């Protein structure tokens, strides 16, 4: 399927067949060919067939082929007549980013990077299916699924001030642990405080460049600063919630007489039992993810104090922000000039609300919400800020990372782990992992150029760059 140029960085897919709205892809001219070859445009068109969808079916510049819907996809459905689709949320519910800032210069930490990475590797468990986190009793797990990061802080895994600068103050509303299957509960029971595998990571980074001094000051960022970036989600619990929901969607579709071009987009009306049950279970999984990143924060603080020989006051580690990029969320947005309550699906896309929005933490409301965009091993990551134009065009959404251009199988075939390890060492990056094979699957060449992705978002008016972060230590699952 071909997309038609609608602007320097905008490509449209006109309504055809069962599409209820047009499609829109944000990409540079050099990106769009690959996006079309990977049949991402076809998936964007398929999403446009969902009942109740409004505006347009969207894809960010980091988009690539995904289960049912593209990773990097955004779609909003009307609360009265719309649907929720687990495939448009993703398996790793509330997978997201957290950045921890410190009062230290990265130059002072680099000489101790080996010891610090050893301490983090020993403290923060990673790897496929790995437990090794805090093992929770049933009542504790229920509390986590209801309270998210707030529950974790009450249990001593962090500081009360952390919650002031988190998306939704760290607790996703509407969670019902009773809607989470026993299999999902068992999978998550010992995974609190763990990274997982795949593209999840923990990085030591330095603030390499500041683009927006006012926003950087509000975010507590300065050139040369030592920061830590964490990328992980709801682990096996969230994966199971998605798996369970997908089995129930076909019955809801049949009752509602819904037909879609791809069964992987299986959905349920928002007001149906299946739709409500999924949203309640998804919210619980989102709270697991937020509590998970909070527990990792607690471990990172302890490892940094130990390896660097600093007190908590001297370390000065605080949370910059925490934001999810795999969620379906009720929000209010203007559609054709009329404000409506919508269920906004973001799958591999980040919320990016502008200055003045009530959902932006008070500390940042004058400049806008921090947007945390990770790069790949050996490349830069970015902190962005949302814009009013994003609210009008993309339901306040931008990219979530670089976006894959190579499958994990192909990356493993092409990249030798030891060669990649040497390459990173030459760049001054200390690496740790439990699986060097999995490490190679996440090589920088397996992804798009994150700088180009970020530049497209800025050129399209969806976000502004605030700071660039460069890694000097990485822990992968």
Residues involved in catalysis: 400
CB 235 within 8 A of CB 188: yes
Q: What is the DSSP letter of 128?
A: T
Location of structure tokens 């439990």: 434
Cα radius of gyration (the chain): 21
Q: What is the DSSP letter of 134?
A: B
Cα–Cα nearest to 290, from 144, 72, 155, 156: 144
Q: DSSP labels for 59-76?
A: EEEEEE--SSS-EEEEEE
Helices (H), 334-407: 388-393
Distance CA(169)–CA(252), nearest Å, equals: 33
Give the contacts of 289 (CB within 8 A, at least 6 positions apart): 93, 94, 95, 96, 232, 233, 234, 235, 238, 324
CB 145 within 8 A of CB 174: no
**Angle made by CA atoms 12, 14, 17, in degrees to the nearest 5:** 145
Give the contacts of 70 (CB within 8 A, at least 6 positions apart): 40, 43, 44, 47, 59, 63, 64, 347, 348
Cα–Cα nearest to 136, from 147, 126, 120, 128: 147
CB 66 within 8 A of CB 38: no
**What's the gap between Cα 171 and its chain centre?**
16
Distance CA(228)–CA(217), nearest Å, equals: 18
Helical packing angle, 40-47 and 29-37, nearest 10°: 80
Give the contacts of 186 (CB within 8 A, at least 6 positions apart): none
Bridge pairing between strands 370-373 and 430-433:
unpaired
């Amino acid at each position: 399927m071909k997309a038609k140029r609608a602007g320097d960085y905008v490509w449209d897919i006109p309504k055809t067949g069962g599409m209820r709205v047009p499609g829109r892809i944000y990409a540079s001219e050099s990106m769009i060919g690959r996006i079309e070859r990977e049949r991402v445009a076809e998936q964007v068109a398929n999403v446009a067939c969902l009942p109740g969808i409004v505006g347009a079916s969207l894809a960010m510049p980091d988009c690539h082929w995904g289960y049912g819907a593209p990773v990097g996809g955004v779609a909003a459905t009307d609360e009265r007549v719309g649907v929720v689709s687990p495939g448009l949320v993703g398996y790793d519910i509330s997978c997201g980013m957290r950045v921890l800032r410190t009062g230290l210069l990265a130059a002072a930490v680099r000489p101790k990077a080996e010891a610090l990475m050893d301490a983090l590797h020993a403290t923060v468990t990673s790897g496929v299916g790995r437990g090794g986190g805090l093992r929770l009793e049933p009542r504790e797990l229920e509390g986590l699924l209801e309270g998210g990061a707030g529950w974790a802080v009450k249990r001593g895994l962090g500081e009360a001030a952390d919650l002031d600068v988190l998306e939704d103050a760290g607790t996703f509303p509407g969670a019902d642990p009773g809607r989470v299957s026993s299999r999902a509960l068992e999978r998550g029971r010992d995974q609190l405080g763990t990274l997982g595998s795949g593209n999840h990571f923990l990085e030591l980074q330095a603030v390499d460049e500041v683009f927006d001094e006012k926003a950087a000051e509000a975010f507590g960022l300065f050139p040369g600063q030592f920061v830590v970036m964490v990328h992980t989600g709801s682990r096996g619990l969230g994966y199971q919630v998605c798996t369970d929901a997908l089995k129930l969607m076909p019955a809801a579709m049949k009752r509602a007489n819904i037909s879609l071009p791809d069964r992987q987009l299986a959905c349920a009306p928002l007001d149906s039992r299946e739709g409500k049950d999924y949203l309640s279970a998804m919210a619980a999984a989102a709270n697991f993810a937020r509590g998970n990143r909070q527990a990792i924060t607690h471990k990172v603080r302890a490892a940094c104090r130990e390896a660097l020989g600093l007190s908590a006051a001297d370390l000065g580690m605080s949370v910059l922000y925490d934001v999810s990029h795999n969620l379906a969320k009720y929000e209010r947005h203007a559609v054709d000039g009329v404000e409506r309550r919508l269920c906004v699906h973001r799958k591999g896309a980040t919320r990016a609300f502008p200055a003045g929005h009530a959902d932006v933490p008070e500390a940042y409301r004058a400049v806008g919400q921090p947007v945390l965009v990770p790069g790949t091993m050996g490349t830069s990551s970015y902190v962005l800020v949302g814009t009013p134009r994003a609210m009008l065009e993309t339901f306040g959404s931008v990219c979530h990372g670089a976006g894959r251009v190579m499958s994990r199988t192909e990356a493993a075939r092409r990249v030798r782990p030891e060669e990649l390890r040497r390459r990173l060492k030459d760049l001054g990056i200390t690496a740790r992992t439990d699986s060097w094979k999995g490490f190679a699957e996440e090589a920088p060449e397996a992804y798009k150029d994150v700088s180009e992705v970020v530049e497209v978002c800025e050129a399209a008016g969806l976000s502004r760059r605030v700071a660039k972060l460069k890694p000097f230590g990485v822990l992968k699952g």
